[in-house]
Amino acid sequence: MAGEMVDYDEFAYFADNAAEFGIAYGGPPTVRRESLPMPDRRNLSALVWGEAEPELVLVHGGAQNAHTWDTVCLALGRPLIAVDMPGHGHSDAPADGVANVGRNAQDLAVVIRALAPGAHTVVGMSLGGLTTMALSAHEPGLFETMFLVDVTPGVTNEKAKVIADFVNGPESFDSLDDLLARAIEFNPTRTESSLRRGILHNAEQSEDGSWVWRHARHKVFGHNKTSDRVASTASDNDESPNHEELWQAIEHHQGPVVLARGMREESVVDDADEAELRRLRPDARIEQFVEAGHSIQGDMPVELAALIDEVAGRP
């Protein structure tokens, strides 16, 4: 039997985010949602934080959405945009329903030029990080600093199996409590309150009271194939860069490269990935987050924000 209807306001949880992580909170931040028409009549969505020209672009991982960065944004307190990737959050599906990092990068370039043309740093987590690499290859010079959150081109489906198992779970849930129970099972170190907020941002309630994920897993990716798009660059479309091409994108990126690596077992980055990054980019900055898994922005958001702030500098 489906659960009772739950009210949802996407801007109602910032005080809770701040309180959980000890961030000073002087009232609701200035945040608005922008819907950007694409040339092919799709719409991509983003959260715009602050009123000044955005300095940063935050790109979430597969099966996530722009709100995954909320606590990081509160800790940063600087103008930025957090993008909903194609087929995620409030954004329409990828072009022709085909998801790959090459097409994602093309879409992201349009969003950056429209909403954050002066942004100097792109922070990409997981799939967002792979997209950031492809963006550098697709649009050299569009941004300066490539900031990768727990991802390198060395990521594989095997490394991301736990993540894929979670994403490829049931298509729907009878109640919010059922969905929360599954989230707790796969994220035992996160607080129940933070997981509940994440679910409210990343799932939606159907008219019958049941819950489904916002990301278009079955419409866009195909049943049981999400991991092919979340955990790797595998695609049926030749426009998607392969792993070698993404390593080359990092090597030839015209600006600083930073890797924030989670050190718990849920991370998808290993020592071999770190060594390859150091080989190709001896100047790369690599910071290890001991108490974080794959989603550093959820496990250690304040510490991640401090690193972003240091790397990005202040105007």
Catalytically annotated residues = 126, 150, 294
Q: Which helix (H) or strand (E) holds 280?
A: helix 271-280
| Of residues 304, 278, 272, the one with CA closest to residue 290 | 304
Q: Within a 10 A sphere around the Cβ of 20, how many other Cβ atoms?
A: 14
Please, are residues 254 and 141 in contact by the beta-carbon 8 Å criterion? yes
Which residue type does 157 have?
Answer: N
- Residue 13: both structure tokens together: 């949880």
Q: Report CA 98 to chain centroid distance, whole Å.
A: 18
Pairing of strands 257-262, 211-213: unpaired
| Of residues 251, 224, 230, 7, the one with CA closest to residue 131 | 230
Residue 126's contacts (CB-CB under 8 Å, 6 or more residues apart) are: 60, 61, 62, 64, 149, 150, 151, 155, 230, 268, 294
The dihedral sign for the CA sequence 59, 75, 277, 165: negative
Beta partners for 173?
211
CA torsion 296-302-304-310 (nearest 10°) is 180
Beta partners for 59?
83, 124
Please classify residue 80 by burial: count the beta carbons closer than 10 Å to its beta carbon, then call 0-12 exposed, 13-18 middle and 19+ buried. Answer: buried
What is the rounded CA–CA span in Å between residue 309 and residue 306?
A: 5
